[in-house]
Each structure stands twice: as C-alpha cells, then as structure tokens.
Amino acid sequence: MDSEALKKYSALHPKPAGLALQYGTAGFRTKAEQLDHVMFRMGLLAVLRSKATVSTIGIMVTASHNPEEDNGVKLVDPLGEMLHPAWEGYATQLANAEEQELQKIITEICQKAAVNQDKDASVVIGRDTRPSSEKLSQSVIDGISVLGGQYHDYGLVTTPQLHYMVCCRNTQGQYGKATLEGYYEKLSKAFMELIKQSPSSGESQRHLKIDCANGIGALKLAEMEPYFPKEMLIHLYNDGTKEKLNHLCGADFVKVHQKQPRGLDLKPNERCCSFDGDADRIVYYYEDTTGHFHLIDGDKIATLISIFLKELLAKVGQTLEMAVVQTAYANGSSTRYLEETLKVPVHCVKTGVKHLHHKAQEFDVGVYFEANGHGTVLFSKAAETKIRQLAKEEKDDEKREAAKVLENMIDLINQTVGDAISDMLVIEAILALKGLTVQQWDAIYTDLPNRLLKVQVADRRVIDTTDAERRAVTPPGLQEKIDALVKKYKLSRAFVRPSGTEDVVRIYTEADTQENADALAHEVSLAVYHLAGGRGAPPQP
C-alpha cells in the first residue's frame, strides 16, 4: 500500500467535520454533497473485499427511491448478493474515520479479515441517473486506483443489472454474459420461450403502461425494447426527460399514497406498473370502471408467482420444497391465502431484503417479496440441476414440458436481487400463460384495510422488538398497551418498529374496515408518543 498516494488522494476527498454515517440495508444514503469522501473510501473497501474473496466486487452509486438531491452507495458481494454483515461494520468504520487514521484502519481491516495484499483486485461500478452520480462514481474510481485495483465502469445501469454483472463475472459466465446485451438476451430469450406457450400467443397484443419514476429504468427499458416479442407493447411514462427523479411517481410513491403517479393517465381496467428510482422494485395497479384505484403490491406478486410455480412443481412430480418468505408488513389476507388455500408454508422474518434473501436460501424454491414490491425467487443448486435435467431427458411429455417452463422461469428470474424488469416479465408471462386479466389477479384475495404511520421520537433505540419485529420488548408497557388496543377491533393486528435510517418509529395496523385500521393506527401512535419519548406535538387523528 502506497501511503503517500493514499494521503494525497484522501486529501482530495475530505470528510466533512462531525459527519457520521452508518452502512445499513441500503448501504450509505444521505445528501449527495456529503458523500464524496464516502465514495472514495468505498472504492478502497471494495479493493480489500475483492482481495479477501479473490472475486470481482460491485459498487452501485444510487439512492434508489430517495429524492433526487440524495445519493448513496452499496457494495455487491461475489454472487450478486448484499455485502457480508461483518464488512458492513468495516464500511461504517472506514467512512467515519478521520483522515489521519485511514491507513491504520485499512491495516486493521486487512488483519481482521485476513486480506492478502498481494492478490489482484477487480471491481465493477454502476450508477443511476442522478445529477450527482457521475462525479461520485469518479471518486469511487479514485479509491480503487489508489490501492491498485482493476475496474470496469458499466456507467448507467439499474441496480439489479450491476448485481447480475457481478454474478456473471464470478461464475465464469455460467450465470450469463457480463454485458448489457447478455442481460437483455438472457431475459428476452426466456420470456419469448414462455410466451410462445400462451393460449392467445401471436394474435392479441399485450399493452402495459410503465411509470419509470423518471429514473434509470426508462433508459434500460428503451434499450431492451428491440429484444421484446412484437406482441408485447410497452408504453413508458415518467422517462426522466421532463421531471425530477421519484417526484410524485415511482413504486414507493404509489405504494405509500395508494394512488396513480403523476404523468400517467389511467383508463379503466388498463394494466399499469411502477418501478422505483433504481429499478429494483415494482408494483402493479389499475383503475376499475367506477374510477376506484386498485394497488397490486409485493404480496400479490408473490402470491401469483407461488400459484404458478406450485402448479408446475406438481406437474413435474418432484418432491421439491417450496416456501414463501414475508415480513410483518405483509397483508394478513395474503398470508392466510398462501397458508390455507394454496397450502404453501410461509415464514416471517425481520424487515430488510437481506433477511428475506437469507431465509429463502433454505428451500428448493424460495419466493420472497416485501410488500413494497422488492423481491425475487431463489432456486437451490440441486433444484435447478434437477429441473434442467428433466427438461432435457424426461420421457413423459407433460412432465418434460412443465420442466421446460420451469427452466425458462429460472432464466427469466434475476436470482441475485429484486429486479423490476425481470419481475415485470415474469408477471407478464404468468398472466399470459394463465390467461388472467389484472382484475382476476387482483381478485385472488382481498387485502385487509391497513394504515402505515410514523411517529418522531428523540431516540429510536428505545424500541426493541422480537418475533420478526411483531412484538415490542421495550419500552415497558408498550406491547401490553398495543395488545389491549388490538382487542377492540375485528381481524386486527398492529406492530411498531424503529426505522433503520431516522429517529422515527413506524406503525402498521390492519383491521376489518379502513376506518378501524385508521383509528387503531392513531391510538397506537399515541401510545408510542407517550411511552417511547415522542417529539413535537402529539399525533393528530
């Protein structure tokens, strides 16, 4: 390590005095002007991680669904998964180090993580369309270069595309070709194979309106369009040419406000979907003939995929174990439908994609989605090998055909991370193959009315939870109070959890009517305000 060069370059990316950041589920995220030093240092860390794993590591510059003024960065591990938890700690340590301690902390990380300094390092970089992203990714490159790492800059890509590239490079191309064309070809080929089997193949055109959140999704869908079959017609809205990223549009806006995004006119019963700013989340929606807005969120997406995969697995006749992984935010109706009607085991884990991904890896087929529309399906190595073998060698026609459909699903799904483009194609293929309209999909079950609220508190750490965040352990008396409130309403449940990013407590309630869900949410928010150190004026109904 050239300590003079490190000193010189580090001084070009100074840390603002008194700024402390934490690497969370979403990496680092804050106002773009505060991130220059963090980007430089994450370039350094990626080189160390690459040497430690003897693999290519990814760095994505994005703040996903945050406002355009923000930015962020996350590291991608060798198989396209999220950064190892121990290294999240190193990232926080390195980002917050004073300039004169940098060298010492790098040496400490190398000792703790057994980093062999003589190994080569290789890092790939991607960025979203924010005005600040290009300059910040240059700071990342400075960090990589100072420690002598090799890098490839993919430039403008969706977050899931970068995860895909990392996985391709570290599986020597087994997962796919590590180029954008490779990504488009792999997905479109699988999609075409699936669509060919659909009852109305060829004659009816499939129209889909897509709100791209004025983000990277619009650019990449436009690039991918020539690869789509001619019957698939996509119409892009909020493509970033006129408005600000994520402003009154995108998956997060639609999910939270339960209404259509700005810039997209809904006609009755038209299928529409929204991506978020870096295209790793998707939600669907439509308006019925009475003008009522219907949201189809991650829970309903997981249910549709589960129904389809369960039928195929039954046809193939293999004893492959399938499960669905959810968080406490999943609507109670979806859990009930999956467990009681579909007879698929459901597991609840803590909020945060890494917890869902980790749990889904325990099954032959693990379907996971957060209600916000982030999710995917994981196939175990053994399951994938078995399915591909049956698609090739099975003598029984029906079994072989079912195995082929499963094989194409495996290729269409981005198993590294939730991917709005891939998930959209999976959904479109299933709707076509099952001959379902968006209304029929929506009618599989009826969501229980629910409400999300947040309460400002002095310190979010006063709330500690257990049972996958469904019960509060501290402060004393809070859970008892919630239990008593829940008893007042039919089909109700409520839970509170500290935000991962700010001093607020998030509240979620469900009940038999919207009025009751709202009333319960208000009563729980008052309990949190009084028992957990609320700030400002008490919550108003």
Residues flagged as binding site? 64, 276, 278, 280, 370-372, 497-501, 506
Q: Determine contact, residues 303/338, Cβ cutoff 8 Å.
A: yes
Bridge partners of 495?
Answer: 508
Q: Determine contact, residues 363/380, Cβ cutoff 8 Å.
A: yes
Among the listed residues 127, 80, 64, the one whose alpha carbon sits nearest the alpha carbon of residue 372: 64
For strand 56-61 and strand 70-76, is the pairing parallel, antiparallel, or unpaired?
antiparallel
181-201 burial code (b ≥16 CB/10 A, e <16): ebbbebbbebbebbbeebeee
Structure-token pair, residue 208: 């889909």
**How far is residue 541's CA from residue 526's CA, in Å, rounded to a whole number?**
10
Kindly list the catalytic residues. Answer: 64
- DSSP letter assigned to residue 92: H
Q: Determine contact, residues 73/27, Cβ cutoff 8 Å.
A: yes
Beta-sheet strand order (sheet of 504-510): 450-456, 504-510, 493-498
**How far is residue 518's CA from residue 510's CA, in Å, rounded to a whole number?**
8
378 phi/psi in degrees, rounded to 5: -110, 135
293 phi/psi in degrees, rounded to 5: -85, 130
**How far is residue 438's CA from residue 270's CA, in Å, rounded to a whole number?**
8
Bridge partners of 274?
Answer: 211, 283
**How far is residue 425's CA from residue 412's CA, in Å, rounded to a whole number?**
8
* 169: Cβ contacts below 8 Å, ≥ 6 apart: 56, 122, 124, 178
Q: Determine contact, residues 127/55, Cβ cutoff 8 Å.
A: no
Binding residues for substrate: 370-372, 497-501, 506
Q: Determine contact, residues 67/252, Cβ cutoff 8 Å.
A: no
Helix H or strand E encompassing 367: strand 365-369
**How far is residue 222's CA from residue 369's CA, in Å, rounded to a whole number?**
26
* DSSP sequence for 373-434: S-EEEEE-HHHHHHHHHHHHH--SHHHHHHHHHHHHHHHHS-TTS--HHHHHHHHHHHHHHH
- Exposed, middle or buried by CB within 10 Å (0-12, 13-18, 19+), for 408? buried
